[in-house]
């Protein structure tokens, strides 16, 4: 891959100091790197400068004499002479602040931004001290809701365009814009088109005044009362850096932290507001055990733990199994894995609940991409779930790579995804026909795929590969990866969604892996671990699906559910429920009751996100520290680590893929289910966060217009969707972006989970009488 040449350096003079700086860099950035802070409002390092607020004026010597110019959008040039604190500059700064405050309401004592407000702070530091303005300020009705989450107090706005630029440039959904002119200008949505963006919370964070506020934090706390700690978002596995802010031992806000490797400071609204679940009234606080009448009753820890110990002691080690652990830190996962393997002596451990991706593929594939590779890629291949729904901050990185770094994008998916508008080539295929698509791409014969093929063979490729939907055969990801690795300069980022699933795999929470990505089947690897841990089971364990099957057959008797809900997240809700019922004993570690642990013998409440401390590993293998913001427990930590842990050598084990896709489940001739995930699904944490619960979409089944007309169905008609595991009644939505021959049912909405995840479904109109009931 051609490395970018280092930037040319130029010599300039800033405040009398001669310095070498990279050509083309803006004065404001150069000065900041040299330790000189130039005040600013509209400038944001992650967005294109616009020179709107004029706060960053500096004096620059020109052939026409010394002139005031904006430092945020003036690039340095050879022999430039810049003065950032001359008397003229100071007068300009005072003038700009006096001007900005003409219409700004000075309601700081009741404003949420007061105490952390750039306008307040810079007025103190650079302002004139008093204003000559005695006239009436502008007034607006306040606040107006821009969406269910974001509110706008227009009179506070200083028209810096940070929020509007963010929504256009970064998140690509410009639903807010300036309207009006002169002193009537303000930021607003189009009537009846709310600011329904997955990323709306970022505008609140970057607004340099208190004009934009978010409901979950509005009037909740004052900045000086907040304690902030750095942590990692566990909403998905992208490893977004966050600052968790608490007041009186309660999380009140989450902000983004600019991490160059991951999220650039941006968060999805789910990352930002999911903390409400931590504060939920419905959290479990005491251990629950099942009484003789079959009801869960609160009890003491001693009693609950005795029951668990008795159950574990009453069966053979390999009759015990564990599902889950992706919401835990690496240290917790390590402790759990060590306990299960060396004390209980069971190999039946799986951190993945429903995805069933090959652990060797997830942690072992090489060359493995970092998120940063997106910025250098000539072509990006996304053959995975809709990133906007499943990996929102990673979606922003792909978006940036395409819109600003010049990468070309190829998207392969059964339906429209959030990235399609940016894609130079898009392939829509029926779930089940993925291997066929790979074959055609590789063979290069098919004219339909010529555009995609050309892009994929043109230059260095970074491929993001995962499951496009839950009904997709997990082995397809390996087939795709095998194809992608043959492309020029290819690097693959395998995607699995759950918070710390990669950390769980690294810590050995997989049927095939010991801690440190050592295969269970490696004699030497196991021997080394046994020298520390004592004897270990040597068999390859059962994965989540096989564990449930083992429960039903009586071969597995005791089950640990570690923050897992296999009824909702597995393929077949009924058989998962039956398996749990067949178990001798189920113990669940969870923050909430769910469809699975309602039937457990013992439910142990656990610490949640923000309450535990440890390390978390993201999709790249990057290990980051998550600090604890609240005190709920006492756990002992492993040593702090940072950096990306890359697999060494050619992967830990040959991937068991068949490049021709043989063995991947086929759905030929029937309506294939596309079970794609949505960001705001009816998962427990969403439902327990009031700000997000309101955003869960209504369930529906989406059909291609031709399939709908073949079945004589119309939009909004109510139908019965039936698969091998269950049925659900849903309204039809006609969707021309969906592959013909498939039915899209968003995963895990209020009713759709009851369908399970069959490969194929049949669809029949519900009879009118039944619908009426």
Partner 1 sequence: MSAASVIADWSAPNQERARRLLETYPEERSAVMPLLYLASLEHGYLTSAGMTQVAQLTGLTSAQVQSVASFYTMFKRDHVGRYLISVCTSISCYLLGADDVLAAVETETTARDGTTSVDGAFTVEHVECIGACGGAPAVQVNYELVEGVLPEKATALCKWLRETSPDVVMTDAMQKSFGGVRSFDWGIGEEQGAVAPVPAFGPYGSTGGESAR
Task: Compute the least distance from the CB of residue 140 to ligand FES, in Å.
Answer: 23
**Is residue 7 within the footprint of partner 1 (CB under 8 A)?**
no
**Is residue 455 within the footprint of ligand FES (CB under 6 A)?**
no
Environment class of residue 375 by beta-carbon count within 10 Å: exposed (0-12), middle (13-18) or buried (19+)?
middle
**Is residue 56 within the footprint of ligand FES (CB under 6 A)?**
yes
Of the candidate spans 46-54, 121-129, 381-389, 759-767, the one that interacts with ligand FES by CB under 6 A turns out to be 46-54
Rounded CA separation 379/618 (Å): 23
How many angstroms separate the Cα of 260 from the Cα of each of 4, 239, 371, 389?
Answer: 18, 11, 10, 22
Rounded CA separation 602/717 (Å): 43
> Is the Cβ–Cβ distance between 206 and 163 less than 8 Å?
yes
Contacts of 450-457 with CB under 8 Å at 24 or more apart are 451/424, 451/425, 452/410, 452/412, 452/425, 452/426, 452/427, 455/379, 455/408, 455/410, 455/424, 455/425, 456/379, 456/381, 456/410, 456/487, 457/487, 457/488
Rounded CA separation 693/686 (Å): 6
**Is residue 41 within the footprint of ligand FES (CB under 6 A)?**
yes
Q: Decide whether 182 or 294 has the Cβ nearer to partner 1.
A: 182
Q: Which of 6, 191, 302, 649 binds partner 1 (CB under 8 A)?
A: 191
622-636: string of b/e by CB count within 10 Å (b at 16+)? bbbbbebbbebeeee
Q: Which of 416, 413, 397, 414 is nearest to 405 (CA)?
A: 397
Q: Decide whether 175 or 437 has the Cβ nearer to partner 1.
A: 175
Q: Decide whether 28 or 696 has the Cβ nearer to ligand FES.
A: 28
Return the residues of window 131-190 that contact partner 1 according to CB under 8 A: 168, 173-181, 188-190
Q: Decide whether 176 or 745 has the Cβ nearer to partner 1.
A: 176
Phi, psi of 700 (to 5 degrees): -165, 165
**Is residue 146 within the footprint of ligand SF4 (CB under 6 A)?**
no
3-state secondary structure 525-588: HHHHHHHHHCCCCCCCCCCHHHHHHHHHHCCCCEEEEECCCHHHHCCCHHHHHHHHHHCCEEEE
Residue 212 contacts which entry, ligand SF4, partner 1, ligand FES, none (Cβ below 5-8 A, type-dependent): ligand SF4
Residue listed under structure tokens 């506070």: 156
Binding residues for ligand FES, total number by CB under 6 A: 12
Distance of CA 479 to the CA centre of its chain: 25
Task: Compute the least distance from the CB of residue 73 to ligand FES, in Å.
Answer: 6
Count other C-beta atoms under 10 Å from residue 110's C-beta.
Answer: 9
Task: Compute the least distance from the CB of residue 38 to ligand FES, in Å.
Answer: 8
Kindly write out the interface string for residues 183-212 of this chain, putting x where it contacts ligand SF4 by CB under 6 A and - elsewhere: ----x-------------------xxx-xx
Phi, psi of 10 (to 5 degrees): -130, 160
Rounded CA separation 514/92 (Å): 64
Q: Decide whether 348 or 704 has the Cβ nearer to partner 1.
A: 704
Q: Which of 273, 299, 302, 295 is nearest to 285 (CA)?
A: 299
Q: Which of 12, 42, 211, 593 binds ligand FES (CB under 6 A)?
A: 42
Question: Could you give the strand order of the β-sheet that contains 241-247, starting from the edge strand earlier in sequence?
Answer: 227-232, 241-247, 250-256
Kindly write out the interface string for residues 21-40 of this chain, putting x where it contacts ligand FES by CB under 6 A and - elsewhere: -------------------x
Q: Which two tokens stand for residue 437?
A: 């698509």
Task: Compute the least distance from the CB of residue 172 to partner 1, in Å.
Answer: 10
Q: Which of 503, 158, 113, 474 is nearest to 337 (CA)?
A: 503
Q: Decide whether 52 or 235 has the Cβ nearer to ligand FES.
A: 52
Task: Compute the least distance from the CB of residue 184 to partner 1, in Å.
Answer: 9
Task: Compute the least distance from the CB of residue 172 to ligand SF4, in Å.
Answer: 17
Task: Compute the least distance from the CB of residue 644 to ligand SF4, in Å.
Answer: 34
**Is residue 505 within the footprint of ligand SF4 (CB under 6 A)?**
no
Q: Decide whether 185 or 282 has the Cβ nearer to ligand SF4.
A: 185
Rounded CA separation 76/661 (Å): 55
Return the residues of window 148-187 that contact ligand SF4 according to CB under 6 A: 157-163, 187
**Is residue 263 within the footprint of ligand FES (CB under 6 A)?**
no
Of the candidate spans 47-55, 107-115, 225-233, 465-473, the one that interacts with ligand FES by CB under 6 A turns out to be 47-55
Task: Compute the least distance from the CB of residue 412 to ligand FES, in Å.
Answer: 41
What separation, in Å, do the N-terminal and C-terminal C-alpha atoms of the chain show?
Answer: 63
Q: Which of 18, 33, 79, 193 binds partner 1 (CB under 8 A)?
A: 193
Binding residues for ligand SF4, total number by CB under 6 A: 13
Return the residues of window 221-260 that contact ligand SF4 according to CB under 6 A: none
Interface with ligand FES (CB under 6 A): 40-43, 51-56, 70, 72
Q: Which residues bind ligand SF4 (CB under 6 A)?
A: 157-163, 187, 207-209, 211-212
The site for partner 1 (CB under 8 A) is made up of 168, 173-181, 188-193
């Amino acid at each position: 891959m051609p490395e970018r040449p280092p930037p040319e350096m130029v010599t300039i003079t800033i405040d009398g100091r001669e310095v070498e700086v990279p050509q083309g860099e803006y004065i404001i950035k150069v000065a900041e790197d040299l330790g000189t802070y130039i005040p600013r409002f509209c400038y944001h390092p992650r967005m294109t400068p616009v020179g709107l607020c004029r706060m960053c004026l500096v004096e620059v010597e020109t052939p026409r004499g010394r002139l005031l110019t904006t430092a945020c959008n003036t690039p340095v040039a050879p022999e430039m002479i810049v003065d950032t604190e001359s008397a003229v500059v100071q007068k300009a700064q005072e003038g700009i602040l006096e001007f900005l405050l003409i219409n700004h309401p000075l309601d700081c004592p009741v404003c949420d931004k007061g105490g952390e407000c750039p306008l307040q702070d810079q007025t103190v530091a650079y302002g004139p001290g008093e204003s000559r303005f005695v006239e009436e300020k502008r007034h607006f009705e306040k606040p107006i809701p821009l969406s269910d989450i974001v509110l706008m107090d227009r009179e506070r706005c200083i028209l810096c365009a940070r929020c509007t630029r963010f929504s256009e440039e970064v998140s690509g959904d410009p639903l807010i814009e300036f309207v009006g002119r002169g002193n009537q200008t303000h930021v607003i949505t189009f009537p009846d088109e709310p600011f329904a963006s997955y990323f709306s919370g970022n505008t609140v964070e970057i607004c340099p005044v208190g004009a934009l506020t978010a409901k979950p934090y509005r009037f909740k706390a004052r900045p000086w009362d907040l304690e902030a700690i750095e942590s990692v978002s566990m909403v998905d596995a992208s490893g977004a850096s966050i600052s968790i802010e608490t007041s009186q031992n309660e999380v009140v806000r989450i902000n983004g932290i600019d991490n160059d490797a991951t999220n650039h400071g941006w968060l999805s609204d789910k990352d930002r507001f999911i903390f409400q679940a931590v504060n939920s009234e419905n959290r479990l606080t005491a251990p629950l055990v099942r009484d003789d009448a079959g009801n869960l009753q609160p009890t003491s820890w001693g009693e609950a733990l005795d029951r668990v110990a008795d159950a574990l002691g009453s069966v053979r080690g390999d009759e015990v199994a564990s599902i889950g652990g992706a919401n835990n830190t690496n240290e917790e996962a390590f402790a759990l894995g060590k306990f299960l393997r060396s004390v209980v002596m069971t190999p039946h451990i799986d951190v993945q609940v429903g995805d069933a991706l090959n652990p060797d593929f997830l942690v072992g594939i090489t060359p493995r991409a970092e998120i940063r590779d997106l910025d250098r890629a000539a072509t990006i291949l996304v053959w995975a779930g809709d990133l906007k729904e499943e990996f929102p901050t990673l979606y922003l990185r792909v978006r940036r790579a395409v819109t600003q770094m010049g990468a070309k994008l190829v998207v392969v998916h059964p339906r429209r995804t959030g990235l399609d508008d940016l894609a130079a080539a898009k392939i829509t295929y029926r779930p089940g026909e993925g291997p066929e698509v790979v074959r055609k791409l590789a063979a290069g014969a098919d004219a339909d795929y010529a555009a995609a093929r050309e892009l994929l063979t043109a230059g260095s490729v970074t491929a993001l590969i995962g499951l496009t939907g839950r009904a997709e055969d997990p082995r397809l990801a390996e087939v795709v990866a095998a194809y992608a690795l043959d492309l020029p300069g290819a690097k693959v980022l395998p995607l699995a969604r759950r918070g710390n699933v990669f950390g769980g795999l690294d810590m050995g929470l997989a049927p095939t892996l010991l801690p440190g990505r050592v295969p269970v089947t490696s004699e030497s690897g196991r021997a080394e671990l046994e020298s520390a841990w004592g004897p270990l089971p040597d068999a390859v364990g059962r994965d989540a699906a096989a564990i449930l099957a083992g429960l039903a057959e009586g071969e597995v008797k005791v089950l640990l559910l570690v923050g897992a809900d296999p009824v909702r997240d597995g393929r077949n809700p009924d058989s998962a429920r039956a398996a749990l019922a067949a178990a001798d004993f189920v113990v669940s570690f969870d923050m909430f009751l769910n469809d699975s642990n309602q039937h457990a013998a013992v439910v142990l409440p656990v610490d949640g996100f923000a309450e535990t401390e440890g390390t978390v590993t993201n999709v790249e293998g990057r290990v980051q520290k998550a600090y604890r913001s609240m005190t709920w427990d006492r756990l002992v930590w492993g040593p702090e680590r940072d950096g990306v842990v890359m697999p060494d050598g050619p992967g830990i084990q040959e991937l068991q893929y068949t490049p021709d896709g043989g063995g991947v489940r086929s759905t030929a001739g029937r309506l294939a289910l596309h079970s794609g995930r949505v960001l705001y699904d009816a998962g427990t944490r969403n439902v327990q966060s009031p700000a997000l619960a309101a955003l869960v979409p209504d369930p529906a089944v989406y059909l291609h217009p031709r399939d709908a007309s073949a079945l004589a169905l119309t939009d909004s008609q109510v139908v019965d969707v039936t698969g091998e595991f269950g049925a659900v009644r849903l309204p039809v939505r006609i969707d021309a972006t969906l592959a013909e021959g498939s039915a899209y049912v968003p995963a895990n909405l209020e009713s759709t989970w009851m369908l399970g995840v069959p490969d194929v479904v049949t669809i029949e109109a519900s009879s009118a009488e039944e619908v009426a009931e």
